Amino acid sequence: MRRIFVDTLYWIAITHRKDQWHQAAVQASRTLGGCHLVTTEEVLTEVLNAFSEAGRVLRQEAVDLVRDLHADPSVTIHPQSNQTFLSGFSLYQARPDKGYSLTDCISMEAMRQEGTSEILTHDNHFTQEGFTILL
């Protein structure tokens, strides 16, 4: 089964109808049938943080999204741990010439662990590490 990593940008875009990437995310979601989605708790933390001051409705939609993802058998969520932090931190240290966030580094390491090369994002940092962005 095709495994696709999902970045913060996609989760925000699919949730927030006024996001500039919403239509692209909706179009991409139509092609995901039969795919297994992979993300991390660090990514979901970024999603919740992004909606923390967006008002009650969007904040609740973010809560619903995260709750639904945890209950969805077609989604794997890598838990936060000291090991994921250190693995991402190691990549962060190794790429001082890049603008990668720590969460991006953790995601890249999770993708390598999963053996997946495709990611639902528009963040070109992932292409710099050899991954294929799908938005």
Residues 6+ apart with CB under 8 A from 102: 42, 88, 89, 92
> What digits encode the pLDDT tens for the residues 89-111?
999 999 999 999 999 999 999 99
* Rg of the chain on CA atoms, in Å: 14
Tens of pLDDT, residues 69-90? 999 999 999 999 999 999 999 9
**pTM for this one?**
0.93
